[in-house]
Amino acid sequence: MSQNENRKVKKEHSEAREWIQSIIIAVVLAFVIKMFLFDFVLVQGSSMHPTLENGDRLIINKIEYRLGEPDYGDIVILNYSSSVEYVKRVIAKGGDIIAIKDQVVYVNGEPIDEPYVNTDPYGDFPEVTVPEGTYFVMGDNRANSSDSRFTSLGFVDRKDIVGHVFFRFWPFDKFGSVS
Q: Each residue of 59-107: pLDDT tens digit?
A: 999 999 989 999 999 999 998 877 789 999 999 999 999 999 999 999 9
User: Is 0.85 surpassed by the pTM of this model?
Assistant: no
Candidates 10, 11, 47, 82; catalytic one: 47
Catalytic: 46?
no
Active site (annotated) includes residue 159? no
Please name which of 75, 94, 87 lies closest in space to residue 146, comparing C-alpha atoms: 87
Q: Which of 62, 88, 145, 148 is catalytic?
A: 88
